[in-house]
Copies of this chain bind each other. A is one copy, B any other.
Amino acid sequence: MPDLSHHINRKSKARQPSPLKDIIKFMGQDGMISLAGGLPHPSLFPVEQANFNCITPLAPLHGEGNGSRSAGETADLTIGRDLNGGGLDLTQFLQYGSGAGNRQLIDLCKQLTDKVHTPPATYDCILHPGNTNAWAKVVGLLCEDDDYVLVEEYTYPSAQAHWIPLGIRAAPVSADADGIQAIHLNDILEGWDEAKMGARRPRVLYLVAVGSNPTGITISAARRREIYELSVKYDLIIVEDDPYYFLQYPGYNPSAQTTSTFKAKEPSDFIGSLIPSFLSLDIEGRVIRLESFSKTLFPGLRLGYFIANPTFIERLLRATEVETQDPAGLSQAFILSLFGNWGVDGYLQWLQRLQFQYQTRRNWLLDAFYANFVVLPAAESPVADAQGLVACIKSQSDQSLRPVFSFVDPGAGMFVWSEFYFEGVTRFAEIEKEGGEDPEQAFAGELWKAWATELVLLTPGSYYHPWQGKDKTTTKARGAVARTAHFRFSFATPTVEQIATGVERVRSVVDRYWV
C-alpha cells in the first residue's frame, strides 16, 4: 500500500492528539484513584432504561394493513443500566464517548464492511454523525482552500454548498448512462494547466456512484475499473458517498406488472447482485467510503461511519475529537440493539425490502412516463446524442413525434433526471430572441412556475450545476448543451396516485408549450 499521507492538508497535519490520552493509559491500573477525570457522575443521568419497539425485517411496514401485527412481527429492544451479564449497558451510551464511537458498534461496521465489500487493502472505521458531516470532515482532511474537486457533471448541492465558501471550485467530469467518463477524467487531469486554472491539479474525486443524486446514474463495473486505474495513475483520492448502495434495481420493464411480490434472496446472493463498490477495488487505500444508516434505518439517527486507510482514519479521529465528538449515544445504542435482535442477515433482508419498495416506486414513475408520453430508446428517437430513453409527444397537426425530455432508467436511488429539449418550442424561441444572458434557464424557470401553478413540483436542474466560479454559471458559459435544461423527478415519497396525477400535470403544461 502506498504512503498517501501527502494528501493530508496543512491544517489536518497540524492537529495534535489530546494530551489526556497519556493519562487514560494509567486510569485502568488496579487500585488507581483518578482525580484527573472530567466526566459527570453517571448516577446523575436521570434515565433508567430505553426501549425501542421495532418491526422484524419481514413484518408489515409502518402504515401497512390495519396496523396490528402478529406475535414475532415486532421486537422490544430494551437497553437498561448495570445489567448483570448479558445485554447492552445503557450507561456507556449516556456518558461521553471516545470520539471514534462505541467499540462494539465499530466492530459491527467492520463486519458489515467485510461482508459486503471485502476491501483488499487494510482499512479502519470510525463513526460520524451523518454523511453531511462526514463530507465536511473529508474536505477538512484533504482540501486546501482554492483547490479544485473533481465531481460528476451534475452533483449533490449540499456537498458543494460546504466548500464553495472556502474558495474551492468544481472540475466536473461529463457522463453517459454508465456514469462519468474515464476518457474525460483523463483529459482533465492530463491537460491540467496549473497556471491557467490558478490551482494545482485536483486530487479528490467526489462521487455518489450508485443512484447518483440527481442523475440516478450508477457507474458501471467496467467504468469503475477504468476510473480506479486513473486514480492510481494521477494519485487521486476517491470519496465514495454511497447512501443508495443497497437501493439497486433491475432494469425497468414497461410491459411487466409493477405489482410483483417481494421475495428475499439469500444474503450472499443479495450481496452478489450488487455492483462492486470502489472500496472493493481499492488495492491502494485511496478510497474513503462514507456509509450512512439514514436511508437504510432512518435519517434522525444522524449516524454513519467512515471506511478508509488507517492514516486517514487517525486524522479524521483527531478532527472528530475537536469538531463533533462521537454520534449521539441513543443512536449508537439503538443500532447495536437492533442488530442484536435482527442479526446482520436480518439487516440484509430488511435492505432487500427497502430495495423492493423503492424499486416499486421507481416503476410507478416510469409507468406514468409511459402512460403520458411516447417513450422511445434514444437511438430510435428524433434526438441525436440522447442518452437512455426519450419521452415524446405526438404533434396534433402532423402526428410526427416531438421530443420533450430524455431520461435514464435509474438503476438505483430515488431520482429520475430529465433533460428537456426546447428546440422548436415557440415560447423558448421568443425568450431566446429577447437576447437575455441565459434563455435556457429563463425558460426553465417559466416552465417550473407553470408546473407549480398546475400543482406539481419538480426540482430545477440548476440546483445541481457544479460550481466552477462566478463567470461560469450560464448554460453557455458552463458549456452545457444549448436549448436544453434539466429537472429532477423524485419517486421516494409520493403515492402511486400522486405520481400518476403529477406526471399528467407535467404533461398538460408540456402540451401547452410544445404545441
Binding site for B on A (CB under 8 A): 11-16, 18-20, 23, 26-27, 29, 31-55, 57, 61-64, 74, 81-82, 93-97, 129-130, 132-133, 136, 157-158, 161-162, 164-166, 213, 294-295, 297-303, 321-332, 334, 338, 350, 353-354, 357-358, 361, 365, 414-415, 452, 455-460, 462-463, 488-494, 498-499, 501-503, 505-506
Set B35, B81, B295, B462: member contacting A40, Cβ < 8 A: B295
Name the residue on B nearest A57 (C-beta). B46
Copy number of this protein in the oligomer?
2
Q: Which residues of B contact A503 (CB under 8 A)?
A: 35
Q: Is the CB–CB distance between A37 and B492 below 8 Å?
A: yes
Name the residue on B nearest A96 (C-beta). B299
Q: Is the CB–CB distance between A23 and B302 below 8 Å?
A: no
Known contacts A43-B63, A46-B54; A328 and B325 CB within 8 A of each other: no
Q: 18 A-B residue contacts at CB 8 Å?
A: A16-B161, A34-B502, A39-B493, A40-B493, A43-B61, A45-B62, A46-B57, A47-B54, A95-B298, A129-B302, A130-B325, A132-B322, A158-B321, A158-B322, A161-B321, A302-B327, A302-B328, A328-B331
Beyond A14-B165, A33-B456, A302-B329, list 19 extra A-B contacts (CB 8 Å). Answer: A12-B165, A18-B157, A32-B456, A35-B490, A36-B459, A38-B213, A39-B493, A43-B62, A44-B354, A45-B62, A48-B55, A94-B298, A95-B300, A130-B325, A132-B322, A162-B322, A300-B329, A301-B330, A328-B331
CB distance from A371 to the nearest CB of B (A): 15
Known contacts A46-B54, A50-B51, A498-B33; A81 and B62 CB within 8 A of each other: yes
Known contacts A158-B322, A162-B322; A46 and B300 CB within 8 A of each other: no
Q: What are the nearest 10 A-B pairs in CB distance?
A: A300-B329, A328-B328, A14-B165, A45-B298, A49-B53, A33-B502, A162-B322, A94-B298, A36-B457, A330-B330
Known contacts A23-B457, A36-B458; A18 and B327 CB within 8 A of each other: no
Q: Is the CB–CB distance between B298 and A455 below 8 Å?
A: no
Q: Which residues of B contact A12 (CB under 8 A)?
A: 165
Q: Is the CB–CB distance between A165 and B11 below 8 Å?
A: yes
Q: Which residues of B contact A326 (CB under 8 A)?
A: 302
CB distance from A12 to the nearest CB of B (A): 7
Name the residue on B nearest A488 (C-beta). B36
CB distance from A65 to the nearest CB of B (A): 11
Set B29, B41, B455: member contacting A32, Cβ < 8 A: B455
Name the residue on B nearest A135 (C-beta). B322
Set B35, B62, B95, B493: member contacting A299, Cβ < 8 A: B95
Set B18, B63, B322: member contacting A82, Cβ < 8 A: B63
Q: Which residues of B contact A297 (CB under 8 A)?
A: 45-46
Q: Which residues of B contact A157 (CB under 8 A)?
A: 18-20
CB distance from A241 to the nearest CB of B (A): 14
Q: Is the CB–CB distance between B329 and A301 below 8 Å?
A: yes
Q: Is the CB–CB distance between A33 and B457 below 8 Å?
A: yes
Known contacts A46-B54, A53-B47, A323-B136; A35 and B301 CB within 8 A of each other: no
Q: Report the bound CA distance from A97 to B327 in whole Å.
A: 16
Q: Which residues of B contact A456 (CB under 8 A)?
A: 32-35
Known contacts A299-B96, A300-B95; A50 and B52 CB within 8 A of each other: yes
Q: Is the CB–CB distance between B62 and A53 below 8 Å?
A: no
Name the residue on B nearest A464 (C-beta). B19
Q: Which residues of B contact A96 (CB under 8 A)?
A: 294, 299-300
Set B129, B330, B462: member contacting A324, Cβ < 8 A: B129
Q: Which residues of B contact A299 (CB under 8 A)?
A: 39-40, 94-96, 329
Q: Is the CB–CB distance between A499 and B452 below 8 Å?
A: no
Q: Is the CB–CB distance between A33 and B455 below 8 Å?
A: yes
Set B51, B330, B492: member contacting A53, Cβ < 8 A: B51
Name the residue on B nearest A56 (C-beta). B46
Q: Which residues of B contact A498 (CB under 8 A)?
A: 33
